[in-house]
């Protein structure tokens, strides 16, 4: 509400990051889910010098982890934490997330395949395993120049891809509902300790999506916690 309270919040947030091992950017229509809304808001906060320094210390000096889902993935992309592993200005050729190719919000379960075992977040997931995960977003289309996508594949930074019932990556709108290039659903930083993905792996439980066929637990959160054990 005031300049003083903003400074107080920044200082408290910096302290919390420096006392943590994991930084999680959640999804869920924060900032009203206006175009680029939550991602712009989160990115503006994390570009504060104190918070940016605390994040870099977490990831580069203290072997911490960071995770972003849906709106959180959008924030990671805008900050540069994926795919670069550090907060940096966006460039013209950088990957981004934009409006779904169908031009509207989608809400459905999608099938995603784990295509790398490089990330600590995927240690307990099956490499090549297919998981049925809820997706709900209006701006989840992953786009990047062809040479950037090739580089991400070569580096093992493509974490998960949208696939059909046979487990094949696809541009079919039924299975890749936002039209992401190369059917990319999630990517990591170069060292794998930052993971960004669109589908809501946290929406899991005995009473969730009971009518959806397929394995719904990627064990992402168990993997993140076990990294420090």
pTM of the model: 0.95
Residue with tokens 């999804």, as numbered in its chain: 27
Residues with a catalytic annotation lie at 70, 200, 202
pLDDT in tens, 84-127: 999 999 898 999 999 999 999 999 999 999 999 899 999 999 99
CA–CA separation, 163 vs 83, rounded Å?
22
| Domains with residue ranges and CATH for the chain | 3-226 (3.40.50.880)
Taking 80 as the threshold, does the pLDDT of residue 34 lie above it? no
pLDDT bucket at 73, cuts 50 / 70 / 90: very high
From 157, 165, 33, select the one nearest 107 (Cα to Cα). Answer: 33
């Amino acid at each position: 509400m005031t300049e003083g309270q903003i400074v107080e919040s920044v200082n408290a947030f910096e302290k919390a990051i420096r006392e943590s091992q994991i930084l999680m950017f959640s999804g869920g229509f924060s900032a009203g889910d206006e175009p680029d809304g939550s991602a712009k808001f989160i990115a503006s906060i994390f570009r504060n010098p104190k918070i940016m320094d605390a994040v870099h210390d977490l990831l580069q000096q203290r072997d911490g982890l960071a995770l972003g889902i849906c709106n959180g993935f959008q924030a990671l992309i805008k900050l540069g934490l994926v795919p670069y592993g550090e907060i940096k200005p966006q460039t013209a050729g950088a990957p981004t997330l934009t409006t779904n190719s169908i031009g509207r919000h989608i809400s459905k379960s999608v099938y995603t395949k784990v295509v790398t075992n490089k990330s600590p977040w995927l240690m307990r997931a099956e490499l090549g395993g297919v998981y049925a995960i809820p997706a709900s977003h209006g701006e989840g289309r992953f786009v990047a120049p062809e040479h950037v996508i090739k580089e991400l594949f070569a580096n093992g930074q493509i974490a998960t891809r949208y696939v059909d019932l046979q487990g094949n990556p696809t541009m079919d709108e039924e299975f890749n509902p936002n039209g992401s290039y190369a059917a990319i659903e999630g990517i990591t930083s170069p060292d794998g300790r930052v993971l960004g993905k669109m589908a809501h792996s946290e929406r899991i439980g005995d009473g969730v999506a009971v009518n959806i066929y397929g394995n719904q637990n990627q064990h992402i959160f168990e993997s993140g916690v076990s990294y420090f054990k």
